[in-house]
C-alpha cells in the first residue's frame, strides 16, 4: 500500500495537516489534521509498504504497546481509505 498522488503533509504552527493538491483539492473539500505518529506513518506510506512494516517502525520509534499501536494504525489507514488517499 502507498499514498495516492495529490496529497501532501505539511507542518503548520506545530500541527500536521494533510492537504489535497491540484484537481483533488476541489473534490476532497477539506483538510485532515493528524498527530505526530500519523505523520510518521504518512512518511512511511510515501513508498510502497505493508502493515507489518508500519507496525514495526512505529514500535521502534515510539514507546507504545503493540496492540494499541496496531489498533491506531488500522484506524488511521481506514481514515485514509475512506477519504480515497490510500492506494492498495
Over the stretch 26-40, which tens digit does the pLDDT of each residue have? Answer: 666 678 999 999 999
Looking at the structure of the chain, the number of domains it has is 1
Domain of residue 25, residue span: 2-87
Interior/surface letters 7-46, b for 16+ CB within 10 angstroms, e for the rest: bebeeeeeebebbbeeebeeebeeebebeebbbbbbebbe
Over the stretch 63-80, which tens digit does the pLDDT of each residue have? Answer: 999 999 999 999 999 999
Of 29 and 12, the one with more pLDDT: 12
Q: Report the CATH number that the domain containing residue 14 is assigned in CATH.
A: 1.10.10
Amino acid at each position: 500500500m502507498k499514498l495516492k498522488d495529490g496529497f501532501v503533509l505539511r507542518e503548520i504552527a506545530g500541527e500536521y495537516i494533510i492537504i489535497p493538491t491540484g484537481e483533488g483539492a476541489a473534490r476532497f473539500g477539506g483538510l485532515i489534521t493528524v498527530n505526530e505518529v500519523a505523520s510518521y506513518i504518512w512518511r512511511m506510506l510515501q513508498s510502497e509498504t505493508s502493515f507489518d512494516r508500519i507496525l514495526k517502525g512505529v514500535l521502534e520509534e515510539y514507546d507504545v504497546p503493540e496492540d494499541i499501536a496496531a489498533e491506531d494504525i488500522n484506524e488511521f489507514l481506514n481514515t485514509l481509505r475512506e477519504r480515497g488517499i490510500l492506494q492498495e
